Amino acid sequence: MSPKFLRIAVVLGLLSAIGPFAIDMYLPALPSIGTDLHAGTAAVQMSLLIFFLSMGFGQIVVGPISDMVGRKLPLYGGLALFMAGGIGSAMAPTIEWLIAFRFLQGLGASAGMAIPRAIVRDLHTGNEAAKLMSLLMLVFSVSPILAPLTGSQIIENFGWRAVFWTVTGAAVLATILLATSLKETRPPEERVGSSFGTALAGYRFLMGDRNFLGLVAIAGFGIASFFVYLSSSSFILIDHYGLSPSVYSVFFSINAVAFIGMSQLTGLLSERFGLKRVVWVAVTGYATTMVVLFAIMATGVDRLDVMAALLFVGYGFLGLVIPTTSVLAMEEHGEIAGTASALMGTLHFAIGALAMGIAGVFFDGTPLPMVAGITLCAVISFALAKITLGRSREAIEAPAE
């Protein structure tokens, strides 16, 4: 694997990780934010939900812009918005101001979510794209491992506001890397004819593409299951199971290790078995594992070790689902890669935000509603894979082009 290939993966991974970094790093602070700003659990969770919503729907605009003006300029604009939102969040006097600045921060993060996928499609297709996507996710997945651990240490020593100063610094670093280590991958001649009108036409076309929508939804409900975990885990593990913020961060990171480890097998497995078969096996394993976890906990077993073990296995399977479905969904849409990536990201986050909102309604401080939400998302993802890929020999066994 060439140094250039690795350098691109690192830069794209860091750009993609900026948004999740601003989520994972402040998760251990959610209870203390509520105490400090005199806000209830629902209001504090809203600061998380609003970030997801703005980060998701901001991609609808930034994706087509990247088709029209190139990939780098919108990335610079997104990073600037992210930094402004981070500074505002660090200085927020009330929960309302925090929510407002988190909205701005999420808009900035949307560029880092949508455009790197488009850059992958600019450069590669098929198994090479799967390899680059898995490497990108390796860097991207550093966030859920290191961010909670780093965040808990910062919170314990300097308070939750320091978290936002730290993520702002990370955005400054990403801006420097963008300027020095990544060339423009959408040259001017490929931008000819790109406009908001063609973007709308592209969205209409994509919304009629059942294969694209099915693949996006498979990953969307997989991601949604993780969003449900994100929104509830700190309250459950810290308040219900009595973990300290530091131990919670370790627990949270273990699941990320499973996700990262399996995602790195994407290129090898897709080359050997084909992308579609990898998706099918992975989503089946994920749904099965989550159903087993729900069945155990529904019988009254409330044990952290049982939940930890099965979530570890489940999120390992999920690590294979996300990169493979992304590559398959983008495969036939190179001419409108920014638009396709934007719609994909928006649908992912819309599904995730909806799942988070519903899970919040049923949240009661115990793990069962969270596990039920995760399981429901996993089962829906499995059902969508069955519909989209089918059970035919061609769908499951055909190797990637």
Summarize pLDDT for 53-96 with one digit per residue, the tens: 898 788 888 888 888 888 899 999 999 999 999 999 999 999 99
- Return the closest-CA partner of residue 67 out of 302, 396, 340, 264: 340
The encoded tokens of residue 96 equal 């309302």
| pTM, full prediction | 0.73
Distance (Å, whole) CA 36 – CA 27: 15
CA separation for the pair 341, 87 (Å, rounded):
28
Count other C-beta atoms under 10 Å from residue 197's C-beta: 10
Query: What pLDDT band is residue 2 in, cutting at 50, 70 and 90?
Result: low
**Cβ-count burial 230-239 (b if 16+ within 10 Å, e if not):** bbbbbbbbbe
Q: Is 399 left (phi over 0), alpha (psi -120 to 50) or beta?
A: beta
Are 317 and 280 spatial neighbours (Cβ–Cβ below 8 Å)? no
With a cut of 60, say whether residue 401 has pLDDT above it: no
Q: Is the pLDDT of residue 4 over 80?
A: no
Q: What is the largest CA-CA distance in the chain?
A: 62
Closest CA to 317 of 222, 213, 214: 222
Q: What is the average pLDDT value for the chain, to the nearest integer?
A: 84
Taking phi over 0 as left and psi of -120 to 50 as alpha, with beta for the rest, 38 belongs to left
